[in-house]
Amino acid sequence: MERHLIVLDLDGTLLTDQKVISDNTKRILLKAKDEGHEVMIATGRPYRASEMYYHELGLTTPIVNFNGAFVHHPRNRSWQMIHKPISLNVVKEVVEAVQSYSIKNMLAEVLDDVYLHYHDEQMISALVQGNPNITTGDLRQFLNADPTSLLIHAEENSVDDVRKHLKEVHAEVIDHRRWGAPWDVIEIVRHGLNKAVGLDHVSKYLNIPKERIIAFGDEDNDLEMIEYAGVGVAMGNAISPLQNIANEITATNNEDGIAEFLRERLKLN
């Protein structure tokens, strides 16, 4: 069996709803590594909120974080990392503009530093993973570096209006996505970034062609990655648009969908 690159989204894909890797999935992934295949993570999470899974699987590959805005190699500091943040001026323009909409809060991340527009314990406990430095205050004043990403927590009835504004005014410099329930969050990154961009960089580094890339995902931030991979696999719990473009559909994240697919495709026991 030729060497394959297995690419794993985290939430709703590798992780069960309890945010753990099942024993069966872990066993199959370790078996794949033992047989010479490469395994990597591509997630919207920051590294501090994904490194526990990276180490649990004993990975030795680069990792894609912030949906492609940050790509680095945790075990090789000489590896040329990629960090493509949003221009601070653009972010301040966005923060200024959305004041006229019904906004609950905004959160900017500069790698492992978090900036909250308003103090919000609920948002911190739900969205601020790991143990970052947190600064609270008007982002127009306190944010002093180009952020890796910006989250806008909006009232449900204003999400579409905010996204319409972003598309009309800032389409050439930022990309944005809407998160699923229960949070009405608009996630913003620099224009042209997605998981496929990071995956392309890593696959070339590992010298593994597209046709031997197997990628798993469940949400709209996985669309480009699933299209890019030679074998794009949607989880059984994936959104319909992702299932529609995927090459294959496997069982859900709670039913060891990754393990079931890899066991058959790569002939793992």
What secondary structure letter does DSSP report for 67?
A: G
Contact by Cβ (8 Å): 39, 6:
yes
Q: Give the Cα-Cα-Cα angle 179, 195, 193 (nearest 5 degrees).
A: 85
Mutual orientation of helices 23-34 and 257-265 as an angle, nearest 10°? 30
**Which residue type occupies 98?**
V
Contact by Cβ (8 Å): 224, 245:
no
At which residue do the structure tokens 């299209």 appear?
227
Paired with 150 in beta bridges are 108, 188
| Alpha-carbon gap, residue 159 to 105, rounded angstroms | 12
Contact by Cβ (8 Å): 222, 195:
yes
For this structure, is 146 an active site residue? Answer: no
Contact by Cβ (8 Å): 238, 249:
yes
User: How many C-beta atoms lie closer than 10 Å to residue 71's C-beta?
Assistant: 26
Active site positions, annotated: 9
